[in-house]
């Protein structure tokens, strides 16, 4: 009997080998983990991965909030109230989403500052910077659309001001604020439009761009700090 | 050092980076270890802020004009949005303070667009296009004086604007303390009209600094409405409407402290009607006290 069965270790590896043979996922994972990075990378280069963490956190808490939130002028505010005061740990979920957004903006500025000071946007990493810059603008859009959703006094009036800012643009301005608000004033449609932008359109766009950003980072490798002493010598060429 | 061609520079970079990678260290566990620590710190920070916020906010008042409750980190939420509430001074979230402050700097109707559209657009173009603007191939800061200067200046400017933006008393009512200004800016009018003196930027109705209505016109429109302009007969008392009309007639197209061209038409009632209307309509200006 025993001769018919391979040793236990091989049995354990069978699903892994099965996946590897069909997808190459295992060797890809190994490549990702064990690819070399410059010896002297610094702590400042951890901010990007912290941003990924916060993005995952925002997505998770956002999905949880979406399970209870109703984007309707009559009930939006009460659902927020309910989440904050009555739902089990609702305050934690809402609070982490709220403060996570502020921390994300801070981290974006720091990460941008780091890549700027390192000159990391220079050849060949121009596209990494450009995808990052677009992410930055979209994240500001997330903040703007998210602000209205609480639908309290602050949210309402700040959004009016924000939409009016768009409205001052020549030619396109009034049309733009009309499109944003779905009419001349904030209504049910404004709220559902902002909600759809905030939870579907912008996060998907940001997620896709983060994927591109990471593709570029892995392909090009992270820079060593500009003060790096790791220079090739003549006989090393 | 001899000037290198662009191609030689790129090849130089490739050689250098290949060398650094060959003599580098594996991503796991070195970088992963650092990344994990920083991510954990960030998550702990977010949880800490949340707990502090939750521990300090008190019960929420149903009265929208009541003092904001909440501790160091602000309230859980404010009263439910009510378009009819007067005297609310909106503030954006802190990361839009810089934009908010730009609005206040360029608050005259002719310049408004500089703060709202032109500067932010230039910003975004510079941000996205930056790798093509900075053509200096060197990455060492000591060889990048211009980039270094910009890298220091941008945060300083942003932080300064953010600081002053956070001190601003809200877009509505920010600009003026004349009688009627707070009511105009805090009420529905601000949603639809640009009036520099009140610091409003609404865009549904005409720019009042251009329309320069006299008192009678303003009184008629506010009372009865016309076209896209709603009637406020049911919303405000007669004194309040007279006060708003007087305010608009007096301060449309005003230059600083000098009232606009139609100020005389409102002389009889303004600011007397505002005093009678009381509350938000009286204004907080006491020109005697000086700045
Ligand atoms: C959600 C937003 C973002 C995420 C998740 C993200 C993630 C990352 C990660 C993980 C890295 C690897 C190196 C490091 O951690 O420093 C990186 C590198 C980089 N990022 Fe971002 N990033 C974001 C936004 C931005 C923004 C706004 C910019 C600039 C406008 C930017 C520009 C760059 C550049 C130029 C690099 C290459 C750095 C190097 O090779 O040294 N990123 N990003």
Instruction: Report ipTM for this prediction.
Output: 0.92
C-beta atoms of B17 and A84 within 8 A = no
Q: How many CB atoms lie within 10 A of CB B129?
A: 14
H helix or E strand, kind and range, residue A235: none
Looking at chain A, which residue has its C-alpha nearest residue B126?
A: A133
Query: How confident is the prediction for chain B on average, in pLDDT?
Result: 81
Query: Residues with Cβ < 8 Å from A176, sequence gap 6 or more?
Result: A166, A167, A169
Q: Please write the tens of the pLDDT for every residue from B169-216.
A: 544 444 577 888 878 876 678 777 888 788 777 766 788 988 899 999
Chain B residues lying within 8 Å of A35, measured CB to CB: 26-27
Query: Residues with Cβ < 8 Å from B59, sequence gap 6 or more?
Result: B69
Quick one: CATH architecture of A42-223? Answer: Up-down Bundle (1.20)
B35 touches chain A (CB under 8 A): yes
d(CA B35, CA A49): 6
- Tokens in use for A183? 């009419």
CA distances from A147 to A99, A150, A194, B67, B136 (A): 12, 7, 9, 20, 40
C-beta atoms of B201 and A167 within 8 A = yes
Give the best residue of B10, B52, B56, B76 to mutate against chain A (max A CB count within 10 A).
Answer: B76
H helix or E strand, kind and range, residue A28: helix A25-34
For residue A121, how far is its CA from the centre of ligand 1 (angstroms)? 10
Confidence at residue B107, expressed as pLDDT on a 0 to 100 scale: 64
Confidence at residue A159, expressed as pLDDT on a 0 to 100 scale: 82
Q: What is the DSSP letter of A237?
A: -
pLDDT band for A86, please (50, 70, 90 cuts): confident
pLDDT band for B288, please (50, 70, 90 cuts): very low
Q: b/e per residue, A184-220, with b = 16+ CB within 10 A?
A: eebeeebbbbbbebbbeebbebbeebbebbeebbeee
Parse chain A into domains and list their residue ranges: 42-223
Give the best residue of A86, A87, A99, A228 to mutate against chain B (max B CB count within 10 A).
Answer: A99
Please check the confidence at residue A12 and state whether its pLDDT lies above 60.
yes
SS3 A157: helix
Chain B residues lying within 8 Å of A84, measured CB to CB: 76-77
Give the best residue of B6, B24, B85 to mutate against chain A (max A CB count within 10 A).
Answer: B24
For residue A111, how far is its CA from the centre of ligand 1 (angstroms)? 6
Please check the confidence at residue B73 and state whether its pLDDT lies above 70.
yes
In the block, tokens 């300083």 appear at B156
Query: Residues with Cβ < 8 Å from A23, sequence gap 6 or more?
Result: none
Q: b/e per residue, A135-164, with b = 16+ CB within 10 A?
A: bbeebbbbbbbbbbbbbbbbbbbbbbbbbb
Average pLDDT over residues B26-47: 95
Q: State how beta strands B25-26 and A36-37 pair.
A: antiparallel
For residue A192, how far is its CA from the centre of ligand 1 (angstroms)? 32
Average pLDDT over residues A170-199: 82
- Ligand 1 first shell, C-beta below 6 A: A 45-49, 51-52, 55, 108, 111-112, 115, 118, 120-121, 125, 128-129, 132-133, 135-136, 210, 213, 217, 222-223
Confidence at residue A121, expressed as pLDDT on a 0 to 100 scale: 96
C-beta atoms of B151 and A116 within 8 A = yes
- Tokens in use for B251? 């301060």
Confidence at residue A236, expressed as pLDDT on a 0 to 100 scale: 57
Residues in chain A: 237
Which of A33, A96, A236 minimises the CB distance to B46?
A96
Chain A residues lying within 8 Å of B123, measured CB to CB: none
Chain A residues lying within 8 Å of B79, measured CB to CB: 152-153
For residue B160, how far is its CA from the centre of ligand 1 (angstroms)? 26
Strand partners, B201: B194
Chain B residues lying within 8 Å of A157, measured CB to CB: 81, 88-90, 170, 172
**Residue A108, phi then psi, degrees to nearest 5:** -60, -45
C-beta atoms of B95 and A57 within 8 A = no
Please check the confidence at residue B40 and state whether its pLDDT lies above 80.
yes
Spell out the domains of chain B, with CATH numbers in brackets: 25-74 (no CATH), 85-168 (1.10.287), 181-281 (1.10.760.10)
d(CA B14, CA A71): 52
B187 or A227: which leads in pLDDT: A227
Q: Please write the tens of the pLDDT for every residue from B126-155.
A: 999 999 999 888 899 889 999 999 999 999
List the single range of A91-95, B20-24, B195-199, B221-225 with lowest mean pLDDT.
B195-199
Which of A96, A164, A177 minimises the CB distance to B50?
A96
**Residue B49, phi then psi, degrees to nearest 5:** -60, -45
CA distances from B244 to B216, B282, B289 (A): 12, 11, 24
Q: What is the maximum alpha-carbon separation in chain A?
A: 84
Q: Please write the tens of the pLDDT for every residue from A28-37.
A: 999 999 999 9
C-beta atoms of A153 and B124 within 8 A = no
Confidence at residue A80, expressed as pLDDT on a 0 to 100 scale: 92
Please give, rounded to a whole number of angstroms, the shortest distance from the CA of A29 to a CA of chain B: 11
Picking from B69, B79, B75, the residue whose alpha carbon sits closest to that of residue B53 is: B75
d(CA A53, CA A111): 14
Which of B27, B35, B124 minimises the CB distance to A33?
B27
pLDDT band for B290, please (50, 70, 90 cuts): very low
Please give, rounded to a whole number of angstroms, the shortest distance from the CA of B243 to a CA of chain A: 23
Percentage of chain B surpassing pLDDT 70?
A: 82
Please check the confidence at residue A214 and state whether its pLDDT lies above 80.
yes
Of chain B residues 74-113, which have a CB less than 8 A from chain A? Answer: 76-83, 85, 88-96, 99-100, 103, 112-113
Chain B residues lying within 8 Å of A75, measured CB to CB: none
Average pLDDT over residues A117-138: 96
Pocket test for ligand 1, best of A217, A220, A221, A225 (most atoms within 8 A of CB): A217
pLDDT band for B58, please (50, 70, 90 cuts): low
Chain A residues lying within 8 Å of B171, measured CB to CB: 161
């Amino acid at each position: 009997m025993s001769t018919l069965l391979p040793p236990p270790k091989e049995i354990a590896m069978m699903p892994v080998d099965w996946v590897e043979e069909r997808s190459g996922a295992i060797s890809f994972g190994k490549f990702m983990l064990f690819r070399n990075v410059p010896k002297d990378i610094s702590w400042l280069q951890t901010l990007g991965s912290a941003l990924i963490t916060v993005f995952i956190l925002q997505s998770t808490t956002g999905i949880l909030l979406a399970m209870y939130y109703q984007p309707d002028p009559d009930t939006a505010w009460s659902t927020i109230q309910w989440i904050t005061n009555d739902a089990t740990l609702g305050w934690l979920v809402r609070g982490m989403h709220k403060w996570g957004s502020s921390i994300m903006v801070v981290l974006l500025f720091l990460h941008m500052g780091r890549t700027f000071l390192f000159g990391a946007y220079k050849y060949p990493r121009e596209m990494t910077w450009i995808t990052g810059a677009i992410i930055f603008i979209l994240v500001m859009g997330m903040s703007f659309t998210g602000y209205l959703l609480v639908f309290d006094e602050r949210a309402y009036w700040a959004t009016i001001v924000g939409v009016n800012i768009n409205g001052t643009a020549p030619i396109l301005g009034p049309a733009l604020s009309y499109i944003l608000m779905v009419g001349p004033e904030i209504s049910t449609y404004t709220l559902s439009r902002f909600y759809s932008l905030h939870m579907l359109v912008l996060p998907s766009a940001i997620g896709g761009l983060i994927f591109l950003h990471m593709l570029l980072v892995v392909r090009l490798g992270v820079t060593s700090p500009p003060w790096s002493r790791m220079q090739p010598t003549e006989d090393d060429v | 050092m001899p000037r290198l061609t662009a191609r030689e520079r790129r090849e130089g970079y490739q050689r250098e980076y290949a060398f650094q990678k060959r003599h580098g260290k594996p991503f796991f566990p070195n970088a992963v270890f650092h990344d994990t620590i920083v991510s954990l710190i960030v998550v702990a920070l977010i949880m800490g802020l949340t707990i502090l916020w939750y521990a300090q906010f008190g019960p929420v008042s149903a009265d929208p004009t009541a003092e904001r409750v909440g501790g160091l980190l602000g309230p859980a939420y404010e009263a439910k949005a009510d378009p009819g509430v007067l005297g609310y001074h909106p503030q954006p979230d802190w990361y839009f303070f810089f934009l908010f402050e730009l609005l206040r700097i360029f608050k005259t109707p002719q310049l408004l667009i500089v703060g709202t559209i032109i500067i932010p657009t230039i910003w975004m173009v510079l941000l996205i296009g930056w790798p093509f603007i900075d053509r200096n191939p060197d990455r060492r800061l000591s060889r990048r004086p211009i980039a270094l200067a910009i890298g220091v200046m941008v945060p300083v400017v942003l932080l300064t604007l953010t600081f002053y933006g956070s001190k601003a008393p809200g877009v509505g009512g920010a600009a003026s303390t004349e009688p009627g200004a707070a009511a105009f800016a805090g009420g529905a009018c601000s949603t639809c009209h640009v009036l520099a003196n009140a610091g409003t930027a609404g865009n549904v109705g005409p720019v009042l600094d251009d329309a320069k209505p006299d008192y009678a016109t303003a009184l008629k429109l506010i009372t009865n409405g016309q076209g896209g302009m709603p009637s406020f007969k049911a919303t405000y008392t007669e004194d309040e409407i007279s006060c708003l009309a007087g305010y608009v007639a007096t301060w449309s197209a005003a230059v600083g402290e000098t009232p606009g061209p139609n100020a005389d038409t409102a002389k009889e009632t303004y600011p007397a009607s505002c005093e009678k209307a009381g509350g938000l309509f009286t204004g907080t200006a006491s020109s005697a006290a000086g700045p």
